[in-house]
Amino acid sequence: MADAETARGRSIRKTKKQDGGNPSLETAEIERHLCRAIKHHQAGKLGPAGALYRQILRRNPRHADALHLRGVIAYQSGSCAIAADWIGEAIAIKPHFPKACNNLGNALMAQGHWDEAVAAYRKAIALKPDYALAHGNLGGVLGKMGRLDEAVVACRQAIVLEPGHPDAYVNLGTALVERGQIDEAIAAYRQALAYKPDYAEAHSSLILAQHFHPGCDARAIASEQRRWSRRHADPLMRCNRPHPNSREPERRLRVGYVSPDFRDHAVGWQILPLLREHDRRQFHITAYASVAQPDAVTERLRACTHCWRDISAMSDEEAARQVRRDRIDILVDLALHTAGNRLLLFARKPAPIQVTFAGYPGATGLRAIDYRLTDPYLEPPELSPRDDSYFERPMHLSHSFWTYESAANDDVPINTLPALASGSVTFGCLGNFCKVNEQVLRLWSRVLRSVPGSRLLLLTPEGEARQRALAALRRHRVAASRVEFVGRQPRLDYLRTYHRIDVALDTLPYNGHVTSLDALWMGVPVVTLTGKRGVSRAGWSHLSNLGLENLACRSEEHFVQAALGLVKNLPRLSGLRTTLRERMRSSPLMDAPRFACDVEAAYRRMWQSSKWR
């Protein structure tokens, strides 16, 4: 969070004459310019504020306050590298400047320079130990770095210093989610909303956290989504205008995709085959990228589009106007309530038909979104809600919600079954630890107790999360000596970790999604427990598309027996390991042309059947 305030009323040194002989601004005139600029800045009028800061700097290029606040404007406008340069120059002139240090940290964090951002926040705190904003921001960047225990401490210190600090509660909630403490995370998000009810991002984080909670059923989540929509989105619908798009049913359609994840991210890789295989004769493709740090995957995605719009520095209103100018027919949300979503862009209804897809199988709760893509396994007719739980209507793809891209993974071959060499079976889960809860650990413990000598390899953040996992496993009679943890890894190293796993155990209520596909690609079968929500049925969808429905279980007893059945016959398990990759290649999960046709057929059905104004 940027701190755009400056110390008003303090004495400002009288400036010297500048080179060229121009007279300096007098102290009183500098004060007037600065006060006017700050008023504009705090009112959100960045243009007039920036013009006044520039006036001061033309007369005195070493004016630290003007340099700092001009840098803040650059940061707020999305020019983070320029912001860091200007704020850094201000700090060089005036080293004891905690607000500038905090804002330098923000500019560095936005560029992904996390170590440097930590140093900037720590300097701000050293200069001003009771600086709650800097403590909260420090917690945010430490959380991104996976230093979760430190992040929790920093956020809680911010809250002690300023109990009404909503951003600190959000950063705390995010770190707690990553540590698997979903109850505590939900409480933190609710506290943020108590102090700032219009905090849409915090409310989205709350909804996403509910998906990980075993006690939150579909109806409870839908109710929270409707609250989100009533609070943040519905008021914007009053400004919706008719769309002039031609209604001709068979014409070429203009499709827009909106995502913060057009990068090296699970959604980026999932959407790449679809963009690459779209029928260019029937569909014109525009990407609206809300990506602060583009990478090589961003460039690959860009090459698959007709038009690429960088909306990372645009407001939702500006982005919605751009979508309207582009005359998009079908606008597709790829984030739902995940971080960085642009749902308030969709709330403005800039396209006649709007769809949600890919972030996770589920709904947004927005009246302005017409459809959600799903598949026959995630949402069979008997599980479709028969009330108004969701505003989005399900549009079923024929086979799978997912298509798997192997381009980033081909360099890692499948190895021989590790149990053949070690003599003991290793179960594992390399999904996000936020999906691991007491119910899951209890179920996994039953599997481990059923297979003497077996071990568990688990991706878990260092520190408190590992201690809590070990304590839970001990409660269920699994010794710590049978458990091994790994942390975050570069992608190829992560894939090689599957070389050490014989059988993957899935999580509930939020199944593994892309991580389960990764396991299957690496020859590791996944045993899953099928639930009633979309996120709880991903394993059923994956395995059904591979002809391995027997590993998708309906009860805990079935789950234990399925895992036991795999490891009782190691030669058969070894044979499955060697054939799983080819099974993946020949399945709908990797048939990108068929997947694209399936999605395009869904778009055409939406276009031809929907009524819009």
88-110: b (≥16 Cβ within 10 Å) or e: bbbbeeeeebbbbbbbbbbbbbb
pLDDT band at 20 (very low <50, low <70, confident <90, very high): very low
CA dihedral for 252, 258, 259, 264, sign (positive or negative): positive
Q: Tell me the two tokens of residue 371.
A: 């459809």
Please identify which residue in the block is written with the tokens 């004016």: 63
Please name every residue paired with 509 in a beta bridge, in sequence order, or none if there are none: none
What amino acid occupies position 320?
A
pLDDT tens digits for range 237-253:
887 889 999 999 999 99
Q: Over range 187-210, report the average pLDDT.
A: 98
What pLDDT was estimated at residue 442?
A: 97
For Cα atoms 538, 540, 542, give the angle at the middle one, nearest 5 degrees: 70
Q: Over range 123-150, report the average pLDDT.
A: 97
Q: Tell me the two tokens of residue 362.
A: 């589920």
What pLDDT was estimated at residue 55?
A: 84
What pLDDT was estimated at residue 19?
A: 39
Query: Is 70 exceeded by the pLDDT of residue 387?
Result: no
For Cα atoms 450, 454, 457, give the angle at the middle one, nearest 5 degrees: 120
pLDDT band at 52 (very low <50, low <70, confident <90, very high): confident
Query: Is 80 exceeded by the pLDDT of residue 559?
Result: yes
Closest C-alpha among 193, 211, 210 to residue 201: 193
The residue ranking higher by pLDDT, 55 or 517, is 517
Q: Can you tell me the distance from the alpha carbon of 2 to that of 121, in angstroms, rounded to the nearest whole number? A: 12
pLDDT band at 314 (very low <50, low <70, confident <90, very high): very high
pLDDT band at 78 (very low <50, low <70, confident <90, very high): confident
Please name every residue paired with 529 in a beta bridge, in sequence order, or none if there are none: 553
Query: Is 50 exceeded by the pLDDT of residue 197?
Result: yes
Q: Over range 258-268, report the average pLDDT.
A: 95
What does each C-alpha distance from 195 to 42, 162, 339 come to in angstroms?
A: 20, 11, 20
Are residues 66 and 57 in contact, defined by beta-carbon separation less than 8 angstroms?
Answer: yes
Q: Over range 6-20, report the average pLDDT.
A: 37
What pLDDT was estimated at residue 554?
A: 95
The residue ranking higher by pLDDT, 52 or 176, is 176
pLDDT tens digits for range 278-295:
999 999 999 999 998 999
pLDDT band at 403 (very low <50, low <70, confident <90, very high): very high
Rg (CA), the chain: 26
What pLDDT was estimated at residue 77?
A: 87
Among 31-45, 290-304, 567-581, 587-601, which is the least confidently predicted range?
31-45
Q: Over range 543-564, report the average pLDDT.
A: 97
What pLDDT was estimated at residue 21?
A: 41
What pLDDT was estimated at residue 46?
A: 85
Please name every residue paired with 288 in a beta bridge, in sequence order, or none if there are none: 258, 309
Q: Can you tell me the distance from the alpha carbon of 556 to that of 553, in angstroms, rounded to the nearest whole number? A: 7
The beta strands (E) that lie in 294-423 are given as: 307-310, 330-333, 353-356, 371-374, 393-396
Query: Is 80 exceeded by the pLDDT of residue 132?
Result: yes
Q: Over range 535-546, report the average pLDDT.
A: 97
Are residues 141 and 114 in contact, defined by beta-carbon separation less than 8 angstroms?
Answer: yes
pLDDT band at 409 (very low <50, low <70, confident <90, very high): low
What pLDDT was estimated at residue 256?
A: 98
The residue ranking higher by pLDDT, 7 or 22, is 22
What pLDDT was estimated at residue 23?
A: 47
Q: Over range 180-194, report the average pLDDT.
A: 98
Q: Is the pTM of this model over 0.85?
A: yes
pLDDT band at 26 (very low <50, low <70, confident <90, very high): low
What pLDDT was estimated at residue 384?
A: 64
What pLDDT was estimated at residue 100?
A: 96
Query: Is 50 exceeded by the pLDDT of residue 500?
Result: yes
Average pLDDT, the chain: 92
